[in-house]
Copies of this chain bind each other. A is one copy, B any other.
Amino acid sequence: MPGEFASATAVVARGDIDPSGMTVFDCEVIDGWDIAGNANGGYLLAIAARAMEQVVGRPPLTVTAHYLSPGLPGHHTVTVEVVKIGRMIATATATMVSDTTGREVVRLLGAFGHGDPSAPSIIAGAPPQLPDFADCVVDRPGPDQPMPTIFARFSMRLDPACTGFREGRPTGTAEMQGWFEFADGSEIDRIALLLVVDAFPPPVFNSELPVLWVPTVGLTAHIRGVPAPGPLACVFRSRFIADGMFEEDGEVWDSAGRLVAQARQLALTPLG
């Protein structure tokens, strides 16, 4: 039986898939994958990338999403256009449009393919240093705010050193780290990693800036592997906040100590 995430990101092709042209998919943005009414950006990215993956028949390697209007619950179409089917890499674009608003929600450009596991590895990096899963804490919004449904679905545990921002005590350093798994125990595949890279509270919440929300302009995720079973160790950092914008860099490591995703987004900092 598919897990909650797989069901919530299901896409159904209208007619035959056209691997050299355009294919239209139907999908539903499900209520409860949102923060304050706007569907999570990684969730929308995952839906669209799943459609792209079905057309090109290969898993995602690098996908860029530009966000255009809020993702609201309800029926959407995803139209996938194949740009090129190469020997190693297949390139495609996608656009997701809301039936409710008639507006385009997100536009994507991505490359799909298989890595070569026999190629030599050189790794200059290590997973974030995190307390044990049991010693990390469930993220909760402020006392006057309802618990978003999506928090319960994620089963996310933040490093307790990061969580003071919820009570007005940011660390002063724009970093956020913790563990991620699905509450229903579903395996995290490559498509789910596209959700994970946008699942954590923005690290800028731990800066001294009075930022209330951080609309993403563009997000690029590199999917570097299929996670081994077990919770993922995740770290997000923003180093350059200027001109009303900042980058957010994320790394996602699996339980075998392997980097499985890297992501960077450019986001805006409307000040509260």
Nearest CB to that of A208 among chain B residues?
B122
A72-111: contact bitstring with B at CB < 8 Å (1 yes, 0 no)? 0000000000011010110101000000000010011111
A191-209: contact bitstring with B at CB < 8 Å (1 yes, 0 no)? 0000000000000000111
Query: Inside 8 A of A83's CB, which chain B residues have their CB?
Result: 66, 68, 104, 107
Count residues of A near B (Cβ-Cβ below 8 Å): 54
- Residue A166 at the B interface, CB < 8 A? no
In the bound assembly, the distance between CA atoms of A173 and B225 in angstroms comes to 23
- Residue A140 at the B interface, CB < 8 A? no
Among A22-30, A38-46, A179-187, A214-222, the stretch in contact with B: A214-222
Query: Inside 8 A of A93's CB, which chain B residues have their CB?
Result: 93, 107, 109
Query: Inside 8 A of A262's CB, which chain B residues have their CB?
Result: 240, 247, 264
Contact A239 B124 (CB under 8 A): yes
A61, A66, A259, A271: most-surrounded residue (chain B CB, <10 A): A66
| Cβ-neighbour of A119 out of B68, B104, B217, B243 (below 8 A) | B243
In the bound assembly, the distance between CA atoms of A185 and B107 in angstroms comes to 38
Contact A259 B240 (CB under 8 A): yes
Contact B119 A220 (CB under 8 A): no
Main secondary structure of the interface of A (DSSP, over half): strand
- Residue A266 at the B interface, CB < 8 A? yes
In the bound assembly, the distance between CA atoms of A213 and B101 in angstroms comes to 47
- Residue A245 at the B interface, CB < 8 A? yes
Query: Inside 8 A of A111's CB, which chain B residues have their CB?
Result: 66, 217-218, 266
In the assembled complex, the CB of A67 is this many whole angstroms from the nearest CB of chain B, namely 9
Contact A240 B271 (CB under 8 A): no
Nearest CB to that of A115 among chain B residues?
B243
A interface with B by C-beta (< 8 Å): 61-62, 64, 66, 68, 83-84, 86, 88-89, 91, 93, 104, 107-111, 115-117, 119-125, 173-174, 207-209, 217-218, 220, 222, 224-225, 239-245, 247, 259, 262, 264, 266, 268-269, 271
A-B contact pairs, 26 of them (CB 8 A): A66-B83, A66-B110, A66-B111, A68-B83, A83-B104, A91-B107, A93-B93, A107-B109, A108-B109, A111-B218, A115-B243, A116-B244, A119-B245, A120-B271, A122-B174, A122-B242, A123-B242, A124-B174, A124-B240, A218-B220, A220-B264, A222-B266, A224-B240, A224-B243, A224-B245, A240-B262
